[in-house]
Amino acid sequence: MAAPTPTTRVLPVGYRLQDGQYSHITLAEDPAIQFWEKTVKPGGVDGGDPVPQTTMFNNAWRTFAPKVLRTLTEVNGKAAYDPGCIVGIVAMCNFPTVCTVKWPTNATWCFYSFLQKVEFDALEEGKQPELTYTIAPTNYDYVNNVEAGPVFTAAAGTA
């Protein structure tokens, strides 16, 4: 039986983000929706829980395997807004579209999705009104009726 062996960490090649300023999200069906991003959480990838592989032949350790499929996790954040955005929010809620997340380097990550929800924060004196948005990835091309994963496009001059 082979034992796992250490791997030496190699210096990464690429552009390390130094500030999150100038990150945006765009919904293809309403690219000028009336809110101004204050925070953008791009979401991520989730491989799911491990699949148990333990049998009565295991001696000391429970064993597991990775799942085959991955889940693209939700995008969310905070934004200042014009109350007129309510019309766009109602129209976009649960409507299939493409979401594009733009990083400060101008790199983009786009995927099929829908605006899942928008919640308005309490209005109070001395504080800019904000909303919290949540965009749910679908990974489903609603035009061609096929599975379609996200597409990352690096910015010019970055890895």
Instruction: Work out the burial of residue 83: count CB atoms within 10 Å of its CB; fewer than 13 is exposed, 13-18 middle, 19 or more buried.
Output: exposed
Residue 54 lies in a domain: no
SS3 79: strand
Number of domains in the chain: 1
Tokens matching residue 151: 């597409």
What is the domain range of residue 123? 24-46+64-153
Residue 58 lies in a domain: no
pLDDT at 15: 80
pLDDT at 158: 53
pLDDT at 116: 98
On whether the CB atoms of residues 81 and 57 are closer than 8 A, the answer is: no
Residue 132 lies in a domain: yes
Q: What is the pLDDT along the chain (159 residues), one digit of tens a residue?
A: 689 999 999 999 888 889 999 999 999 999 999 999 999 999 999 999 999 999 999 999 999 999 999 999 999 999 999 999 999 999 999 999 999 999 999 999 999 999 999 999 999 999 999 999 999 999 999 999 999 999 999 987 655
pLDDT at 156: 78
**Chain centroid, CA 47 distance in Å:** 14
